[in-house]
Amino acid sequence: MFSRNVNRRRFIKSVLMTSGAVAFVSKFGIKNARALENVSVVVVGAGIAGLGAANVLRKNGASVTVLEAKDHTGGRLLTDWTMGAPFEVGAGWIHGPSSDNPSKQLADAVNAQYVVTDDENAVFFDIDGYEYDDDEIERIVDAWEGVLEHIDRTYEVNDHRSLLQAIKDYRPAYLQDPGIMWAFSAFTEFSKGGAIEKLSAPLFNWDEAFDGADVVVTSGYDEILKPLKEGLEIKLSHAVTSIDYSADAGVVVTTEQGTVEADYCICTVPLGVLKSKKISFKPELPSDYRESIEKLGFGSVTKLALKFDEPFWDIETQYFGITTEPKGRWNYWLSYRTFSDENILLGLSVGDYALIADRMSDAEMVEDALEVLRTVWEDDVSEPIDVLATHWATDPYTLGAYTFPQPGNRKSDFDDLGEPVADRLLLAGEHTIFDYAGTTHGAYMTGLRAAEYIIEEES
Ligand SMILES: Cc1cc2nc3c(=O)[nH]c(=O)nc-3n(C[C@H](O)[C@H](O)[C@H](O)COP(=O)(O)OP(=O)(O)OC[C@H]3O[C@@H](n4cnc5c(N)ncnc54)[C@H](O)[C@@H]3O)c2cc1C
């Protein structure tokens, strides 16, 4: 009932596309080790897109250098174990973990351990701590689904309304209903990474999904990157400042430590970094690329893990929803006790509130979140003994969480970013694939796509 994926379509197309990705990985396995013997590639960014591309190219004999600004790999796929249980700093779930899902395939390859999270194992409270009964929950979910169905039925793909405007036009009373607005925030704003005020009504729900109930990787999500990194030359703490592809052939990539020359460059930095223009392209990117980079939405999602001595909540319940004000403020909580022995509650801020939360200090964030928890558990809420917080919007090498369509965007604003520029510069990353934007599998597929282009060019 409460699956984040309720609003994601499942088309045959997704299967076809993934089969393509899978076939591609096996087609260009190590057996083609000499195919790119004389080809050099510099990959900017060591997230799943960059590592995926670099791995395939290296296995095909290319000389590959990965330049990563941070002092670690993974980008938005990073597991922190300091609390004794995996705190997923970025991606937390494998969405749709069917055997077709490339991230699930990577996870299976490292014998990852999973736990299915159950959106129906949830309890919901209003802002005064009153618990919603089943009838009220059904009414809320029906209303939320009703709007999505209405948009599906009646909106043209080029309609420029936001999701908020669509709700206003269809059922204005919903805007005054805290339960229904909570559903749009906790489900949709979380899933899409953007505020309903900024989401394109016709497009936000048109992406694709694999089958299967979402899972968390209890052995640590970032383990799936290990095989991709094997044998790669990865230069950490190498922030790229410019990519020069102006010569007739080849690229020159500059970092503070010097330059790297190569035949091709695959640039996987997040959309936020592209928007910030912290990397200068010479010549500048073509105008349609620049327009798409400017127009696409890039919001945030804030995660706060609070570890307590003792649980003060029902440890059999997996999710707690709270209809907080303002919208998006710590409105969804995941209890680790349903898959771990640690007394951890993971709080989420989404929509525009995530942009506010990201700018708080950790201490301010904890106070803000505890205030919300006290609306339900009052004085039972103890002081946390350990805290981990994310600040994606202010992370200089990400500047947000994941990409979403804004009013007026087109699917091609995502997909065309993955088209090669001057035959030797390729952009990759979750922002370059409309159907699977904002996911690890989508990002990985774009890395494979970029590698495939180079292999085809050279064969
Ligand atoms: C809070 C949050 C929750 C998420 N939840 C999920 C989820 O549950 N499931 C899911 O499937 N996906 C989820 N995602 C999305 C998923 O994490 C991303 O789509 C995916 O990891 C992006 O991979 P990427 O390779 O495109 O980008 P990144 O992983 O961001 O990699 C880009 C790399 O480029 C580096 N870089 C930036 N600037 C420079 C520079 N100047 N020079 C060199 N390197 C640079 C960055 O440091 C980074 O390592 C979530 C993301 C966030 C932030």
pLDDT tens digits along 258-309: 999 999 999 999 999 999 999 999 999 999 999 999 999 999 999 999 999 9
Give the nearest ligand 1 atom to 400 CA.
53
Q: What is the arithmetic mean of pLDDT over 417-422?
A: 98
- Alpha-carbon distance of 410 to 296, in angstroms, equals 9
Whole-angstrom CA distances from 172 to 142, 222, 296 are 16, 43, 27
Question: What phi and psi, each to the nearest 5 degrees, are found at residue 433?
Answer: -145, 105
- Separation of CA 266 and ligand 1 centre (Å): 15
**Residue bearing the CA closest to ligand 1, atom 21:** 76
- Say how many Å lie between the CA of residue 340 and the centre of ligand 1: 26
pLDDT digits (tens, 9 = 90+) for 16-60: 344 444 444 544 444 477 889 999 999 999 999 999 999 999 999
Per-residue pLDDT reduced to its tens digit, 298-320: 999 999 999 999 999 999 999 99
What is the DSSP pairing of strand 63-67 with strand 233-235? parallel
Q: What tens digit of pLDDT does each residue of 200-257 get?
A: 999 999 999 999 999 999 999 999 999 999 999 999 999 999 999 999 899 999 999 9
Percent of the chain with pLDDT over 70: 93
Q: What is the pLDDT of residue 33?
A: 74
| Ligand 1 atom nearest 431 alpha carbon | 26
Query: Given pLDDT bands bounded at 50, 70 and 90, which one contains residue 9?
Result: very low
Model pLDDT for residues 161-172, shown as the tens digit of each residue: 999 999 999 999
CA of 400 to the centre of ligand 1 (A): 9
Q: What is the pLDDT of residue 34?
A: 80
CA of 429 to the centre of ligand 1 (A): 8
Mean pLDDT, the chain, as a whole number?
93
User: How many other C-beta atoms lie within 10 A of the C-beta of residue 459?
Assistant: 9
C-alpha of residue 408 to centroid of ligand 1, in Å: 25
Distance 275 CA to ligand 1 centre (A): 15
Q: Which atom of ligand 1 is nearest to the CA of 50?
A: 25
pTM of the model: 0.95
pLDDT digits (tens, 9 = 90+) for 127-163: 999 999 999 999 999 999 999 999 999 999 999 999 9
- Nearest atom within ligand 1 for CA of residue 438: 19
Going by pLDDT thresholds of 50, 70 and 90, the confidence category of residue 443 is very high
Rounded to the nearest angstrom, the distance between the alpha carbon of 102 and the centre of ligand 1 is 16
- Phi, psi angles (nearest 5°) of residue 104: -65, -35
Q: Has residue 14 got a pLDDT over 80?
A: no
Cβ < 6 A, ligand 1 pocket = 44-50, 67-70, 75-77, 90-93, 95, 239-240, 268-270, 273, 279, 301, 303, 392, 397-398, 401-402, 429-430, 438-440, 443
The answer to whether 290 and 268 are in contact (CB under 8 A) is no
Distances (CA, A) of 385 to 194, 279, 305, 326, 360: 31, 40, 11, 27, 19
In the reported structure, the alpha carbon of residue 286 is separated from the centroid of ligand 1 by a whole-number distance in angstroms of 24
pLDDT digits (tens, 9 = 90+) for 354-387: 999 999 999 999 999 999 999 999 999 999 999 9
Which of 275, 440, 444, 448 maximizes ligand 1 atoms within 8 Å of its Cβ, making it the mutation to test the pocket?
440
Mutation test residue for ligand 1: of 216, 402, 404, the one with most atoms within 8 Å of CB: 402
40 vs 35, 100, 110, 245, 359, CA distance in Å? 12, 31, 29, 14, 40
Ligand 1 atom closest to Cα of residue 428: 26
Residue type present at position 62: A
Q: Whose CA is nearest to atom 12 of ligand 1?
A: 439
Residue 186 pLDDT grade (very low, low, confident, very high; cuts 50, 70, 90): very high
Query: pLDDT, tens digit, for every residue of 115-124?
Result: 999 999 999 9
Distance from residue 446's CA to the centre of ligand 1 (Å): 13
Ligand 1 centroid from CA 269, angstroms = 8
Q: To test the ligand 1 pocket, which listed residue (65, 70, 77) has its Cβ within 8 A of the most ligand atoms? A: 77
Shortest-distance atom of ligand 1 to CA 430: 26
Residue 15 above 90 pLDDT? no
8 Å CB contact between 272 and 298: yes
pLDDT at 35: 84
Ligand 1: centre distance to CA 428 (Å): 11
Residue 95 has a pLDDT of 98
Q: Confidence band (pLDDT; 50, 70, 90) for 4?
A: very low
Beta bridge partners of 87: 80
Q: How far is the CA of 307 from the centre of ligand 1 (A)?
A: 25
User: Ligand 1: which of 93, 269, 446 to mutate, judged by most atoms within 8 Å of the beta carbon?
Assistant: 269
Q: How confident is residue 432, by pLDDT bands cut at 50, 70 and 90?
A: very high
